[in-house]
Amino acid sequence: MADAADNPPPAPEPRGGIAPIKPQFILPTDHAAAAPSHRDPTPHDAAPPEDPAAPRKRQRGMNKQRDVYRPEGGVKLCMAVLDGRECSFGEGCRFSHDLRAYLAAKPADLGETCPIYTLRGHCRFGVSCRYGSAHLREDGSSVKAEGGERGADEESNLAPAALLLQLRKNQYDFSRADALSSAFLADVQRQQAAANGGGGEAKGEAAAEADGEAKSEEAAYGARSAEDTQPVEKERRRVDFKGKIYLAPLTTVGNLPFRRVCKGYGVDITCGEMAMATNLLQGQASEWALMRRHKCEDVFGVQLAGSNADVMGRAAQVIDEQMSVDFIDINMGCPIDVVCNRGCGSSLAQRPGRVQSIVRTMSSVLSCPLTVKMRMGFDNNKPTAHNLIPKLHGWGAAAVTLHGRSRQQRYSKSADWEYISSCGKLTPLPFIGNGDVFSYEDVEAEAALGGSCSAVMVARGALVKPWIFTEIKERRHWDISSSERLDMLKSFVTFGLEHWGTDDLGVSRVRNFLLEWLSFLHRYVPVGLLERLPAKLQDRPPAYCGRNDLETLMASDNAADWIKITELVLGPVPTNFNFTPKHKANAYSGPILQEG
């Protein structure tokens, strides 16, 4: 493990946007173009090579038509047989009761150690476990360790089946949230009517929100009145954000096993993936799974997306009453079309009246803090966050996070930390800055701008190098070795198998989520290969090789090589396995080829 003392002296600034890799590691154009697999210069999700003179089509959003691999059938054993009980369906059961046939058709084990058996002393997947040799007898029965199952479940916030059924049948008592949302919505409407002179030629909510001027917003919503500048008085649990490092809620890749990896590297605050409030209220099990929390997550929040006070108030109430969370965050920053088109994410922040009713409702119904995450604004060169941020304190928010980009920018161009710093001075709330944090120097640069941030949020930087939390706390650049990075992936696999299971379906999920993460991890350029530090998140490397074969493999932007990496830590893939990443990237489109 090397640190800053081993780093080379600063070199002359290279051309902007290109990672400054030492010449001896750069592949010449002809070599890079001919290199097989692990340095394939074609981006993994790109179309066949186009005319170089033609303008490059920007990659946006998600690969919506991607084919997601799911394990095929084979012999499907009845759960009753797996549990060692009599099947209530008898001969009418559509699953097999022939344990011998199942064992004969079962693929070879992927390893000799079962993570669940090691953790609990008993594996709930029994004969279907792909690591079954650790706990199965010859007859297929499962062994229990001495003393039986040990230890309490390390994960919490598993939604009870009874709760999901109540929600699906609309039988949950939401009278408390409904009363609050109705009262605050009526209050906002009265403010609008008073500001508009009441009736006649008064502008409606939609017309008022279309006016982007701060003065019009103030008049339409009365947000600077004496009532609204006073914080909502409510005794609630507190979260200390000051000086903390906060892992952003990350869709798909910000799952529980990934958050455990980041906790191992020293992150202070974690947050679950964005959950849609309407899906939670409909009792969708997959959405409630986003609430899951590991015991190592000592400060943990969940993030909700929604577009109106009654839905968000109801979701906040049921989470507060049924789950163990330290705070709830409102998503007002997601730039994805499918979210914004529903009035959620970045588009919500453009409707201050709705924001007011949502924040006041949720903050009043919760016993934990309510936080807000937002972007600079919706359109390029038209920041609006500075108009909304001063009002959040009076409406009951406990903290605010600002991502220094507009919705139109998505993740292109650099985050505007000067604007972030100026907004932090507009509120007494704990203020969290977010955007392009990729080294401890980036954190110190924010402090040099005025230090208005109470904490720093790390998003894509943690996906590219999760050890960034160690680097920030120890103020150093870690030249982490390829073997150490492989050990990190092994830890993720262990955590994933504990979380998703050790049967075929669980193994498939672990592999797919690992591959999604590798679509970000490959962008890391090792410290020892760079001519100058710190590295920048937006920099793209020229085609290069590493200091050993594993480091070179880990730098590949070819999905076939990511599959090879999963085989190093998770065993061979099925013969029909395929993978297409969920996310396309505007800010990264593979290595840059340059003349040798």
Active-site positions?
334
- Measured between alpha carbons, how far is 71 from 323 in angstroms, rounded to an integer? 32
Neighbours of 271 (CB within 10 A): 27
Which candidate, 366, 379, 394, places its Cα nearest to that of 221? Answer: 394
Place of tokens 């919490």: 156
- Measured between alpha carbons, how far is 100 from 353 in angstroms, rounded to an integer? 64
Q: In one letter, which amino acid is 117?
A: Y
What distance separates the 2 farthest-apart alpha carbons in the chain?
84
Residues 6+ apart with CB under 8 A from 545: 25, 27, 39, 552, 555
Token pair recorded at residue 64: 């919506």
Which candidate, 342, 313, 333, 316, places its Cα nearest to that of 248? Answer: 333
Yes or no: say if 249 and 329 are a contact pair by the CB < 8 Å rule: yes
Residues 6+ apart with CB under 8 A from 463: 250, 253, 517, 520, 521
Token pair recorded at residue 469: 């939390």
Which candidate, 23, 56, 40, 19, places its Cα nearest to that of 595? Answer: 23
- Measured between alpha carbons, how far is 377 from 349 in angstroms, rounded to an integer? 8
CA angle 451, 455, 460 (to 5 degrees): 115
Which candidate, 67, 278, 79, 251, places its Cα nearest to that of 168? Answer: 278
Q: In one letter, which amino acid is 65?
A: Q
- Measured between alpha carbons, how far is 235 from 92 in angstroms, rounded to an integer? 57
Yes or no: say if 304 and 312 are a contact pair by the CB < 8 Å rule: yes
Yes or no: say if 540 and 588 are a contact pair by the CB < 8 Å rule: yes
The interaxial angle of helices 175-195 and 309-322, nearest 10 deg, is 150
- Measured between alpha carbons, how far is 379 from 180 in angstroms, rounded to an integer? 33
Place of tokens 């966050």: 385
- Measured between alpha carbons, how far is 330 from 311 in angstroms, rounded to an integer? 12
Query: What is the 8-class DSSP label of residue 332?
Result: E
Distance of CA 111 to the CA centre of its chain: 29
Q: Phi, psi at residue 339, to the nearest 5°?
A: -80, -50
SS3 call for 458: strand
Cβ burial of 427 (10 Å; 0-12, 13-18, 19+) is buried
Neighbours of 165 (CB within 10 A): 12
- Measured between alpha carbons, how far is 268 from 254 in angstroms, rounded to an integer? 15
Residues 6+ apart with CB under 8 A from 429: 392, 393, 397, 398, 399, 400
- Measured between alpha carbons, how far is 548 from 554 in angstroms, rounded to an integer? 10
Neighbours of 42 (CB within 10 A): 14
